[in-house]
Amino acid sequence: MRRVVFNQKGGVGKSTITCNLAAISAQEGKRTLVIDLDPQGNSSQYLLGAQADELEATITDFFEQTLTFQLNPRTTAEFVVATPFKRLAVLPADRRLEELQGKLESRYKIYKLREALDELADDFDQIFIDTPPALNFFTRSALIAADRCLIPFDCDQFSRHALYSLIANVDEIRADHNHDLQVEGIVVNQFQPRATLPQKVVQELIAEGLPVLEPYLSASVKIKESHEQAKPLIHLDPHHKVTLEFVALYDKLDAAKKKRTR
């Protein structure tokens, strides 16, 4: 299963959701890979800590390799880095990635990520792809390569208005490039159940028939602690409320997957 976590809006928790679901997947016994396509490298920092600043090769080097002919190119697996967490690996990013975007677009390398994931198909049971907050070359590559799309959503009207164009963009990529791509659901993040506006916005989305997933993920300072310590919540505090919400969300996604494959 290949999942892309995508929203054109920044600050909605893409990296947090990507890494925590991936960490739970690995904890559940699945060989799991996170692909970081954001030049900011938040997922890379989250899973590798200080090691993320000392890497010899990243996904930038993978994409650079696609731009030149090489007699003995490195395999995709050679760019994958093990994390400190069992069965969890990352294909990390760095800031040089942004500089490549124009060259990759002009050379039409939009399918290279999908080819790379096909190459890794026997190595990993689950792949989670973190994306930049824009519909650019890297995000389109991820949507073309993925089976499912998770949409993080914070509960305000700006996010709600952006949601419709986001879903339309996913639909367009499905029609033109990837007929198997589906919106798996909207992940409500930093939810405050006692506040009126979040409740109202979420209920309106449900009333419109949009695939809002439960449970909603609560706002918590524990998430910031998790970032600072470079430990996904399942490893930092497995019994915390937000950790249990992530576990319940993962279980729901996993159960839906098993139901589809019967």
Return the higher-pLDDT residue of 161 and 41: 41
pLDDT at 47: 98
Residue 24 clears pLDDT 70, i.e. is over it: yes
Segment 222-234, tens digit of pLDDT: 999 999 999 999 9
Segment 61-93, tens digit of pLDDT: 999 999 998 888 999 999 999 999 999 999 999
Q: Under 8 Å CB-to-CB from 47, ≥6 apart: which residues? A: 19, 23, 34, 83, 85, 88, 90, 230, 232
- Percent over 90 (pLDDT), the chain: 84
Determine the Cα–Cα distance for residues 188 and 248; give it in Å rounded to an integer.
13
pLDDT band at 259 (very low <50, low <70, confident <90, very high): low
pLDDT at 180: 95
Residue 25 main-chain phi, psi, to 5 deg: -55, -45
31, 123 contact by CB (below 8 A): yes
Residue 119 clears pLDDT 70, i.e. is over it: yes
CATH of domain 2-261: 3.40.50.300
CA triple 111-97-179, angle to 5 deg? 25
9, 169 contact by CB (below 8 A): no
Residue 137 clears pLDDT 60, i.e. is over it: yes
Segment 169-199, tens digit of pLDDT: 999 999 999 999 999 999 999 898 888 888 8
pLDDT at 261: 59
Instruction: Look up the pTM and report it.
Output: 0.96
pLDDT at 262: 56
